A and B are shown apart, each in its own frame.
Chain A
Amino acid sequence: MSFLSFFKKKKRPSQLTMPQLWEKLRRSSDFVEVSFVVGRKELSVYYFDSLVDPKVLQENILCHLQNDLSRRPDVQLENLQQIVPIQRIEVSEDAAAIEEKVLKGFVVVSFREQPGKAALISAANENLGLRENNDTENEFSVVGPKVGFVENIGTNLHLLRRQIVTPNLVFREMMIGSVSKTKVVIAYIDGVANPETIRTMTQRIEAIDFDVVFDNAIIDQIIADNSKTPFPLFLSTERIDRAVYALVSGQVAVFCDGSPYAIIGPSTFFDFFTSPEDYSLPWVLGSFFRLIRFFGVMFSILASPVYIAVLTYHYEMIPEDLLGPIIYSRSNVPFPPVLEVLFLEITIELLREAGARLPTKVAQTLGIVGGIVIGQATVDAGLASTILLIVVALAALASFTTPIFKMSNSIRFIRFPFILFAACWGGIGIAFAVCGLLIHLGRLQSLGYPYLVPFYPLRVRNFRDTFVRSPYSMTAERPTFFRPQSRFRYDPENAKQKRDIDE
C-alpha cells in the first residue's frame, strides 16, 4: 500500500516562512512581485497575474497605495481598509493561509516595517472564462423560467437568494479538493430542513478526500450511500425552481464552484420523474403527463424483454390477430429473438452515444441517418423484424421522457439485465428481474432516508405529489418523509378557501 500513501492527504503543520513561500511561488512565470517605495514606506505586492482582475488591481489597489499612502503615513496593514476601497481585506501571518489565498486570486501586500505579516486583498476575476448565463437546455421546460445555474458559485447563490427571501436560508461554505481547493456550499432553510439531514450532509462532504473536484457529479458519487447502484441517489439539477422547491420541502442543496449543477439530497426515486412543468400546468394535465412518464419508464424497461420472452417461450400468449404480422416479420430473420433485440438495442445505444459526442448540427443528421436509413436497411436485409424495430424505437423514445438525465441513463442501462433474464428464463425471468429491481430499489437509501418512500415504506399521506400532482389546495403540507422541522408550506385553510365572489 506504500504507493497509495502518495495520494493520501498529509496534514503536517506548515513550517513555511514568508520568504520560503515567495521562493516557492516564484517558480511560476505568472507570479508577479512588485516592490516600490512610497514616502518612507517600502512595500511589496505579490499576486498571480493569471488570477487577478487587472482593472481592480490598478484602479483600486495600486493606485490608492501609491497616492494615499504618502499622505497618510500612519496606515498599517491592519487598517489598509482606510485607503483601499475593497471590501475583503484580511491580515494574516500564516504562510500556508497566504499561499491558499494568493492561489485564489488575492493580492498580497506587505510592508517592510511589518515583517512576517501580510494583507490579503481580494482582486480575483471570478467570471473570467466562465459562462455568464445558462439556458436550462438539459432540463428544458416549455413554460416557466429558463435561467439556470452557471459555473460560478457566487452567481448561483445569488440566484437562490433572489427567490428565497428569508434570513433562514443558510449557506455553509467548505473547501474540498487537495489540489483544486474548490469552494463547496451547502444550502438549506433553517427551521425547515431537519438538523440531522444537514449534519449528515456536512459530515459526508467534510470527509471527502479528493484531489480535483471537476464537477458536482464527483461529490455526488463520493457521498452516495451506495456506490454500486446504477441509480442516482442525489438529484442534480441546473434549474433554479427545482432547487428552490427542494429547499422549501426540507431538502439540502449542495453547490460546487465550477459546476452548473446543484445536487439535492435526500432524494426519492419519484423526485427524478417530476418535471417543473408539472407545476406550471393545471394539476389534471400535470398529473396526466407525470403518469405518462411513469408508463414510459415501464415501457422502456419492459418492451424488448417482453418481446423476447413472448417470441421465444410464450407463443401461446400472442393474440390471434397479431400472430400473422409477428410471424411474417420474423420469418426472414436468421437470429433468435435475443440476438435480434441486442443487435437493435446496441445500434440505438451507439446512435445515442455518437449523437452525444458529435457537434449538435452533425448529430441531428446522424439521428436521421441512423434512425431511418439504418433501421430500414436492417429490416430490408432481414436482420431484424419490423415489429421489433418499432418496439425498440418506442422504448428508446420512452426512456427520453425522464426529466433527469442521470435517471434516463440508469433506465438505459437497466434494460440489458432484463433482456438477459428474458432470454434465459422468459416471462418468469422478467418477473425475477422485476423483483430483483424492486428489492434493490427498496434497499437503497439517500442520505440515510429510504429511496422508494412514500411507496416503501408506505406513506399514504405523501402520495399527493408522487404519481399525481395534486392541486395546490392539497399540497400545503410538506412531505413528512424528509422529517421537516415545520409541517406546512403555507396555510392549508387559506389555500382551500374558494374565492368565487369578490367582496
Chain B
Amino acid sequence: MGMKRWLACLLGLLLLGGCAKSRPIDQIQIIQQMGYDFKDDQYIGTAVYPTFKQGPMTKPNMLTTSSPTVYDLIPRLSAKSALPIEEGQLRLILFGKQFAERGIEQITHSLARNNKVGSHLFLGVAEGSAKELLDITAKTTLSDTLYLPNLIKQNEQSMNLPKTNLHLFLYRYFSPGSDPFLPYFEKKGGFVKLEGVALFRDGRYVGHVDLRDSFLMKILLGETKNGVYQLKVGERGKQGEDRVMLQNLWAKPTYKWRRDGDRHVLDVFVHIHASVRDYPSWLDEPGANLFTDVKKKMEKELEQDMRRLFHYFQEKRIDPMGIGDFVRSVTRRWDRESFYREYPDLDIRPHVTVDIIHTGIGE
C-alpha cells in the first residue's frame, strides 16, 4: 500500500511536471524596452532586445512592426523573431506623443493584469516618435541596452524627476483623487534628453511641465532628499550673476485643508533644508548677513512658482499632486464630482520655509 501510494505520488509529480511551461532563458527573445507610436492611422510597435556578445557586452537590437490595432503588435513582432518573444524583463515602455494623446489605457490595462511584468517597469512619453528615440539610444550606446531606464532611475534618485513607475502610474490612474504623470523625453540633436514630466488626464496626455517645475512637483509630492533648483535673487542685469543654485537636502510638504468663510482653502507648507551650491560672488561680501536676505527671496520666488504651477494644473483640470486624495482623507463624504467641479477655483496657498544648511567650505 505504502509503495503504491509513493508510486502514485511520483507519477503525479512527473505528469504535473509536464504541465509547467518551461522557458529556458537562452531559448526566448527577451525584450527590454518597448515603444508605441501612432502614425497615419497605424499603430507602430518597436521592441528593443539585447544580444549578448563577448560576455557582459550587450548590443541593443530593434524589431519594428505596424498594425491597425494595438493588441496585434506583439504577435506581429513574433513573426519577425526567431525565438518566442517574452516580456518578463521589460524595463521601459515609451509612448509616442500622438499615441499618448489618444490614451494609453489599452497598454496599461493589459500591463496591470500581466503577471510577468514587474511593477518596477518605467513608463515614459516621447515628444516625437518613440521609435525614433529608441533608435537613437540603440545607436549611441555601445553596451548599455538600458540607457533610458537607467536615465530615469538616475534622475529620480539624484535629480528633479519625481518617482514614477508602472505601480505608481496605476495607483494614480485608478485613484479617484489624483492623475498620473510620466517622464517626458525629447530628441535633442543626436541625443535623448529628459525634458520634464508629461501630465495625463484619464490616461490621455494633456501637456507637460519642464524639469524646473518637476522639482516643485517632487517636493510637493512627499518627503524628498534630492533635486536642484535655480532661483533669481537679485536684479543685476548680467546673465547668471543674480542666480543661486539651490540643492535640496531634505524637503517635506504638509497640507492643511480649512474653511475660510464660505470658501475652502488649501494651505501647503513646504519646509526645505537646502544647500546653496553655486551663488554669485557679490553674495560673499563680508559683514553683511546676506543669506537671510537670499533666503527670503528664495521663499518668495518658490511660493510664486508653486502658485503658478498649481494654476496650470487647475487650468488643465488635472490633479497630479493628488490633492483630491488628500482632501478625501480629511473630509467625510467626499464626492469626486463636486470636488473636481470646484477644483479649478480652489484657493491653494503655498507657504515655503527655506533653511540654508550650508554653503560649502570657506563660508
| Residues of B with C-beta under 8 A to A311 | 24-25
Q: How large is the interface on B (under 10, 10 to 19, 20 to 34, 35 or more residues)?
A: 20 to 34
Contact A330 B91 (CB under 8 A): no
**Which residue of the partner chain B has the closest CB to A428?**
B20
Cross-chain contact of B50 among A323, A425, A426 (Cβ < 8 A): A323
Cross-chain contact of A336 among B21, B22, B54 (Cβ < 8 A): B22
Q: How far is the CB of B10 from chain A (nearest CB, A)?
A: 10
Contact A315 B30 (CB under 8 A): yes
Specify which of B25, B32, B52 lies most central, judged by the most chain A CB atoms within 10 Å of its CB.
B25
| Interface residue A320 (Cβ < 8 Å from any Cβ of B) | yes
Contact A323 B30 (CB under 8 A): yes
A-contacting 9-mer, from B11-19, B249-257, B312-320, B328-336: B11-19
Contact A315 B25 (CB under 8 A): yes
1/0 contact string of B115-127 vs chain A (CB within 8 Å): 0111000000000
Contact B52 A327 (CB under 8 A): yes
1/0 contact string of A309-346 vs chain B (CB within 8 Å): 01111011010100111111011010011000000000
* Assembled-state Cα–Cα distance A424/B54 (Å): 31
Contact A333 B23 (CB under 8 A): no
Q: How far is the CB of B267 from chain A (nearest CB, A)?
A: 43
| Residues of A with C-beta under 8 A to B88 | 315-316
Contact B20 A313 (CB under 8 A): yes
Contact A327 B25 (CB under 8 A): yes
Contact B89 A316 (CB under 8 A): yes
Given A315-B86, A323-B89: A330 in contact with B26 (beta carbons within 8 A):
yes
| Residues of A with C-beta under 8 A to B54 | 328
Contact A313 B26 (CB under 8 A): no
Specify which of B26, B52, B88 lies most central, judged by the most chain A CB atoms within 10 Å of its CB.
B26
Contact B23 A424 (CB under 8 A): no
Contact A333 B50 (CB under 8 A): no
* Assembled-state Cα–Cα distance A320/B22 (Å): 20
Contact A315 B89 (CB under 8 A): yes
| Residues of A with C-beta under 8 A to B23 | 312-313, 315
**Which residue of the partner chain A has the closest CB to B57?**
A324
| Interface residue B233 (Cβ < 8 Å from any Cβ of A) | no
A interface majority secondary structure: helix
**Which residue of the partner chain A has the closest CB to B58?**
A324
| Residues of B with C-beta under 8 A to A325 | 55-56
Contact B26 A327 (CB under 8 A): yes
| Residues of A with C-beta under 8 A to B55 | 324-325, 328
**Which residue of the partner chain A has the closest CB to B13?**
A424
| Interface residue B146 (Cβ < 8 Å from any Cβ of A) | yes
Contact B58 A426 (CB under 8 A): no
Interface residues of B in 5-54 (CB under 8 A from A): 13-14, 16-17, 20-26, 28, 30, 32, 50, 52-54
Cross-chain contact of B20 among A328, A330, A331, A424 (Cβ < 8 A): A424
Cross-chain contact of B25 among A318, A423, A424, A425 (Cβ < 8 A): A318
Contact A313 B56 (CB under 8 A): no
* Assembled-state Cα–Cα distance A330/B22 (Å): 16
| Residues of B with C-beta under 8 A to A331 | 26, 52
Cross-chain contact of A315 among B28, B52, B57 (Cβ < 8 A): B28
* Assembled-state Cα–Cα distance A331/B28 (Å): 11
| Residues of B with C-beta under 8 A to A310 | 25
| Residues of B with C-beta under 8 A to A318 | 25, 89
| Residues of B with C-beta under 8 A to A324 | 50, 52, 55-58
Q: How far is the CB of B34 from chain A (nearest CB, A)?
A: 15
Contact B56 A336 (CB under 8 A): no
| Residues of A with C-beta under 8 A to B32 | 320
Q: How far is the CB of A435 from chain B (nearest CB, A)?
A: 14
Q: How far is the CB of B211 from chain A (nearest CB, A)?
A: 25
| Residues of A with C-beta under 8 A to B24 | 311-312, 330, 336-337
Contact A328 B91 (CB under 8 A): no
Contact B14 A424 (CB under 8 A): yes
| Residues of B with C-beta under 8 A to A320 | 32, 89, 91, 146
1/0 contact string of A294-320 vs chain B (CB within 8 Å): 000000000000000011110110101
Specify which of A323, A325, A423 lies most central, judged by the most chain B CB atoms within 10 Å of its CB.
A323
Contact A426 B25 (CB under 8 A): no
Contact A328 B16 (CB under 8 A): no
1/0 contact string of B227-264 vs chain A (CB within 8 Å): 00000000000000000000000000000000000000
Cross-chain contact of A426 among B14, B20, B56, B91 (Cβ < 8 A): B20
* Assembled-state Cα–Cα distance A37/B129 (Å): 123
* Assembled-state Cα–Cα distance A324/B50 (Å): 8
* Assembled-state Cα–Cα distance A118/B318 (Å): 113
Q: How far is the CB of A399 from chain B (nearest CB, A)?
A: 25
28 pairs of residues in contact across A and B, judged by CB atoms under 8 Å? A310-B25, A312-B22, A312-B23, A313-B20, A315-B23, A315-B25, A315-B86, A316-B88, A316-B116, A316-B118, A318-B25, A323-B50, A323-B89, A324-B55, A325-B55, A325-B56, A326-B25, A327-B52, A328-B53, A328-B56, A330-B26, A331-B26, A336-B22, A337-B24, A424-B14, A424-B16, A424-B20, A425-B16
Seen from chain A, the residues whose Cβ lies within 8 Å of a Cβ on chain B are 310-313, 315-316, 318, 320, 323-328, 330-331, 333, 336-337, 423-426
Contacts beyond the supplied A324-B58, A327-B26, A331-B26: 12 A-B pairs with Cβ under 8 Å:
A311-B25, A312-B25, A313-B20, A315-B88, A316-B88, A318-B25, A323-B30, A324-B57, A327-B52, A330-B24, A331-B52, A336-B24
